[in-house]
């Protein structure tokens, strides 16, 4: 997963690696959630998150071209477990360890997600052959705020200024 970290600058990548190392992670989708501790890891990372990938929004099919278009989102989330009898009578529930703030548990550096590609894409599939056709970022990278003193960058959000022919 270190190869998936954002790398606009070496400094940004180093800070993303520091964030990553606060969590358990791996290449398998079968790594279970883990109990977080303030002096250890905060939980297990999941990529894509349960709201990412192509789970919820649905897609559309163009019968004239035979292409299926599907919304996709790349996102990372922490599946950290805690024992909190004040919140639940279950032994472990999802949460952050005591003494760890939301800021410490954040999966970004100065608002930039630690993984790439980040954001929303439109995935094109040629349905008659089930072949992958390509990805289209939904919006261009916009320069909106400063990070590490000199690099200005932001994540893409929404439609942006895409070519009219790519709209569905």
CA 36, 37, 40, 42 torsion-angle sign: positive
Q: Where are the domains of the chain?
A: 2-166
**Could you read off the pLDDT of 52-109 as tens digits, one per residue?**
666 666 778 888 877 777 777 777 889 999 999 999 999 999 998 888 888 777 888 8
Instruction: Report the pLDDT value the prediction gives residue 136, as an integer from 0 to 100.
Output: 55
Whether residue 161 has pLDDT greater than 80:
no
pTM: 0.66
Q: What is the DSSP string of 23-80?
A: SB--S-TTPPPEE--TTS---EEESS-TTSBTSSS-EEEETTTTEEEEEEEE--EEEE
In this prediction, residue 58 carries a pLDDT of: 72
pLDDT in tens, 13-49: 999 999 999 999 988 778 899 999 888 899 999 887 7
Q: Are 156 and 120 in contact (CB under 8 A)?
A: yes
């Amino acid at each position: 997963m270190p190869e998936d970290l954002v790398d606009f600058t070496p400094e940004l990548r180093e800070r993303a690696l520091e964030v990553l190392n606060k969590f358990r992670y791996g290449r398998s989708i079968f790594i279970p959630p883990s109990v977080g501790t303030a002096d250890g890891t905060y939980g297990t990372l999941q990529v894509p998150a349960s709201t990412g990938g192509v789970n919820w929004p649905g897609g559309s099919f163009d019968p004239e071209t035979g292409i299926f278009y599907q919304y996709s989102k790349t996102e990372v989330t922490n599946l950290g477990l805690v024992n909190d009898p004040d919140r639940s009578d279950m032994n472990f529930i999802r949460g952050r360890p005591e003494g760890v703030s939301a800021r410490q548990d954040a999966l970004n550096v100065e608002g930039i997600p630690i993984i790439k590609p980040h954001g929303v894409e439109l995935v094109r599939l040629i349905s008659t052959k089930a072949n992958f056709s390509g990805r289209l970022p939904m919006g261009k990278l916009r320069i909106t705020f400063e990070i590490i003193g000199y690099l200005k960058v932001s994540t893409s959000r929404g439609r942006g200024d895409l070519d009219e022919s790519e709209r569905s």
